[in-house]
Structure 1
């Protein structure tokens, strides 16, 4: 009977060690994933800021890169459409 409890104790201890290691692995992995998400969000903010900067330069006729000009012109066109839609909303509301 002592062997049974001794063996059971060893198995419980081994299982606890395995669970502890897996828990640490999961926590470490999640911490790293969180850092990755933070860095990716920072990159996204910087991409947006770069785009805004390029668009502001475009408005001042300081952009010469054709691909940037195409993006900026598309933005301008969408802005015009947005303004037209807002006017339509105002018209519908009777303002």
Structure 2
């Protein structure tokens, strides 16, 4: 009895193993064939893409194409324009969020105090504004503006010197000769007054 049982069990296990092995082979073969199908489909997609590129190239070269092809090519143009706009938006975003390191020229974060590449200090926009106003224009325009400012300063200095000279002339003190003449005139007037008084007193006495 035991011998028959184990014999039957061995046969059942062997049969099951063969069935599982056969199924595994079927699964493997099925997957292998599916992979081949996928490879062929990828090749077809590539060929169709190349064919579409040829049609689109003819459309760009203004070679006549049918209405359906033309419509599809116009859709491609619209999507390409949209891509360019999106790329421009990305650049604008980078400009707003990043800036250039003044030392190594690489992009760093907008609020970074130091460059992560070279370690140089990166002043923020507020610090640059506090450091002083920037001068716009070409070097020639800046030089010309500087010369104009210097000319204006020289003219102002000349005018100030002229006004100072005029004021000095108005307030200039008399010389020694002029002072002597004034004293002599005052003494002569005083003597004339005294003589007139004496004459008046004599006339009264005679009366």
Q: Helix, strand or coil for the counterpart of 2:65?
A: coil
- State the alpha-carbon separation in 2 of the partners of residues 7 and 16 from structure 1: 14
Question: Which region of structure 1 is more displaced relative to structure 2, 55-64 or 30-39?
Answer: 55-64
Report the equivalent of 2:85.
Answer: 84
Give the alignment's TM-score, normalised by structure 2.
Answer: 0.43
Count of aligned positions: 95
Report the equivalent of 1:47.
Answer: 48
Q: Helix, strand or coil for the counterpart of 1:64?
A: coil
- State the alpha-carbon separation in 1 of the partners of residues 89 and 21 from structure 2: 62
CA contact (8 A) 1:54 1:68 kept: yes
Structure of larger gyration radius: 2
Higher relative contact order (CA 8 A, sep 6+): 1
Deviation at 1:80, TM superposition (A): 1.6
Gaps of 5+ in 2: 97-207
Report the equivalent of 2:30.
Answer: 29
Deviation at 1:83, TM superposition (A): 1.7
Gaps of 5+ in 1: none
- State the alpha-carbon separation in 2 of the partners of residues 62 and 27 from structure 1: 50
Deviation at 1:86, TM superposition (A): 2.1
CA contact (8 A) 1:55 1:72 kept: yes
Root-mean-square deviation over aligned CA pairs: 1.5
CA contact (8 A) 1:58 1:69 kept: yes
